[in-house]
Amino acid sequence: MGTEDKAPRPPVRMCVRCQVTTENPVVVSVVHQNSGPGFVVYACGPCAAHYPPQPDVLTVLPQSRRAGDER
């Protein structure tokens, strides 16, 4: 009693492409919903290579102000 399955389990996710559970999930997409939290789509390593790199909001900012542009 009290010693049930409380051990931390590895983050096992199911690949969205091959439907196989993987212990090394790679985030390939994040779905944002209008209401409530969105969900993350995972893929296994090999399948993740087939997905384009997830654009990061911090990296897709306009680069009009790059260091060195000033004098």
Q: Least distance in Å: CB of 11 to Zn ion?
A: 15
Q: In angstroms, how far is CA 19 from the centroid of its own chain?
A: 16
43: number of Cβ within 10 Å = 23
Of the pair 15, 41, the CB lying nearest Zn ion is at: 15
Least Å distance, CB 13 to Zn ion, is 10
CB of 71 to Zn ion, least distance (A): 50
Binding residues for Zn ion, rule: CB under 5 A, are 15, 17-18, 44, 47
The kind and range of the H/E element at 42 are strand 39-43
Residue 37 or 52: which CB sits closer to Zn ion?
52
What is the sign, positive or negative, of the torsion defined by CA atoms of 10, 25, 14, 54?
positive
Residue 16 or residue 69: which is nearer to Zn ion going by CB? Answer: 16
CA 63, CA 69: separation in Å to the nearest integer? 10
